[in-house]
Amino acid sequence: MCRSSSRPSRPCGWDCCGPGDKLPTAREVVEATAVNPNTVLKAYRELEREGLVEARRGLGTFVRGTLGAVPADSPLRAELADWAVRAHAAGPERDDVAALFAAVLDEHFVNSERQQG
């Protein structure tokens, strides 16, 4: 089971949780650790806010594809957040925006990886 440290954005034992892994439910964490339920829920919300995990309604909370090296207060994150607001306002569904972003990432990262390799 992944356990969170006192800093929820940097849980200890990330090596036990790989991309796509499902985290234990808050209830399971409370039962296993006797930590206050509000503390566990707050830690999970903070992990989600930091972009480290993704809550999927009815399925659970999952570790994102990468844990990232870009800090939450990075100008890149702020620019991306602004873009996401504009994308949302433009009207496409979340999955369409995610697909668009993934396509752009693939164009830039796959091409640069080919040039390096």
* 64/35 Cα distance (integer angstroms): 24
Say if 43 falls within a structural domain.
yes
62, 22 Cβ separation under 8 angstroms? yes
Does the structure show a pLDDT above 70 at 12? no
Tokens 């870009």, residue?
70
Could you tell me the CATH number of the domain that includes residue 20?
1.10.10.10
More confident residue, 96 or 12: 96
Residue-wise pLDDT tens digits, 52-83: 888 888 899 988 876 566 677 788 888 999 99
* 106/11 Cα distance (integer angstroms): 29
Cα→Cα distances 87→55, 74, 92, Å: 21, 20, 7
Say if 1 falls within a structural domain.
no
- The domain tally of the chain equals 2
Say if 69 falls within a structural domain.
no
Supply 55's token pair.
Answer: 């809550």
Domain span at residue 112 reads: 75-116
Query: Same domain for 47 and 88?
Result: no
Does the structure show a pLDDT above 80 at 44? yes
Written as one letter, the residue type at 105 is L
